[in-house]
Amino acid sequence: MICAGIDAGSRAIKIVLMNAKTHEVLASGHTDQGVTQAALAQRLLEQLLEQVGRRRDQVARIVATGYGRNLLDFADTTITEITCHARGVRHLVPEAMTIVEIGGQDSKLIRLNPQGAVRDFAMNDRCAAGTGRFLEVVADRLSVELGALGELARRSQSPAVISSMCVVFAETEIVGLLASGTAPEDIVAGVQKAIAARVAVMAGRSLDPPILFTGGVALIPGMVEALQSALGHPVAVAPQPLMTGALGAALLACRREGAARTH
């Protein structure tokens, strides 16, 4: 039998299919988020099942997580993304103690205990200035692709100071910096530094290494270096950082399916 984990994030839907007994990942994929979240997730699920030659009725349990998890009415249950990211990262990196997850609409700092359970967490979901949305705004304003931001930031000699805590005001601040002749690379470096600084505020004074960086923003070059500078600790990017939430959801689906079978 198969279990599935679906992470319905604010910018993308991610799915992992897993063998319920061996926990082997059979297939994974993602698609852009949209208005019809349930339909998009169903379509991606069917595509992945077709890839591995399985049928929908062979999926024993589906766990949904993420921003839009409650809209996926075909899932068997929902679990918070805090728990799912913790489970997914610990599966990939068993020694992980702290997780930084930055997605499209929020950022999280998750502390784990030695057994891998969530000890506590902090979350910024009130302002997009500490999330991937901020980087999207900057890329759009500078007319460059998201993937090009890292190369721009690496060329910076003097990162701009971005003081606004709201992405709307920050965009206005960026317009002003451009008008005053500030180089685009200094603006990008300043934005990455500002996002990392917001994570550092959530972290407080003490952090337990190893620190793993996950979420879609972990794929943007330059962000891990900005985090390391802000946190004062080495930071490693989790394997397949976009998929850790869906992976954790799939693992939890398998665990619940196994528990159900023993009763």
Q: Across residues 211-225, what is the average pLDDT? A: 93
Residue 123 and residue 108 in contact, taking contact as beta carbons nearer than 8 Å: yes
Number of Cβ atoms within 10 Å of the Cβ of 91: 18
In tens, the pLDDT along 234-260 reads: 999 999 999 999 999 999 999 976 655
Q: Are 32 and 126 found together in one domain?
A: no
CATH label of the domain that carries residue 26: 3.30.420.40
* pLDDT given for residue 259 in this prediction: 54
Which residues have CB under 8 Å from 125's CB, separation 6+? Answer: 105, 106
For tokens 């997580």, name the residue.
65
* pLDDT given for residue 185 in this prediction: 95
* pLDDT given for residue 61 in this prediction: 97
* pLDDT given for residue 262 in this prediction: 43
In tens, the pLDDT along 146-195 reads: 888 988 999 999 999 988 767 777 888 889 999 999 999 999 999 999 89
In tens, the pLDDT along 69-89 reads: 999 999 999 999 999 999 999
Q: Are 196 and 141 found together in one domain?
A: yes
Share of the chain above pLDDT 90, in %: 70
**Is the N-terminal amide bond of 210 cis, ω within 30° of 0?**
yes
Q: Provide the mean pLDDT of the chain.
A: 91
Question: Shortest CA distance to 253 belongs to which of 46, 88, 49, 70?
Answer: 88
Q: Are 99 and 195 found together in one domain?
A: yes
* pLDDT given for residue 263 in this prediction: 39
Which residues have CB under 8 Å from 155's CB, separation 6+? Answer: 185
* pLDDT given for residue 258 in this prediction: 64
Q: Are 25 and 149 found together in one domain?
A: no
Give how many domains the chain has, as a whole number.
2
Q: Are 133 and 247 found together in one domain?
A: no
The helix/strand/coil state of 176 is: helix
Strand order in the sheet with 211-214: 118-124, 107-112, 98-102, 211-214, 235-237
- Domain that residue 121 falls in: 95-238
Q: Across residues 124-137, what is the average pLDDT? A: 75
Q: Are 79 and 104 found together in one domain?
A: no
* pLDDT given for residue 129 in this prediction: 59
Question: Shortest CA distance to 105 belongs to which of 191, 33, 48?
Answer: 33
Share of the chain above pLDDT 70, in %: 95
Q: Across residues 30-56, what is the average pLDDT? A: 95
Q: Across residues 121-131, what is the average pLDDT? A: 74
Residue 213 has pLDDT above 90, yes or no: yes
Q: Are 206 and 117 found together in one domain?
A: yes
Give the separation between CA 130 and CA 133, rounded to whole angstroms: 8
In tens, the pLDDT along 90-119 reads: 999 999 999 999 988 889 999 999 999 999
Give the separation between CA 43 and CA 35, rounded to whole angstroms: 14
Q: Are 81 and 103 found together in one domain?
A: no
* pLDDT given for residue 124 in this prediction: 81
Q: Are 223 and 251 found together in one domain?
A: no
* pLDDT given for residue 260 in this prediction: 54
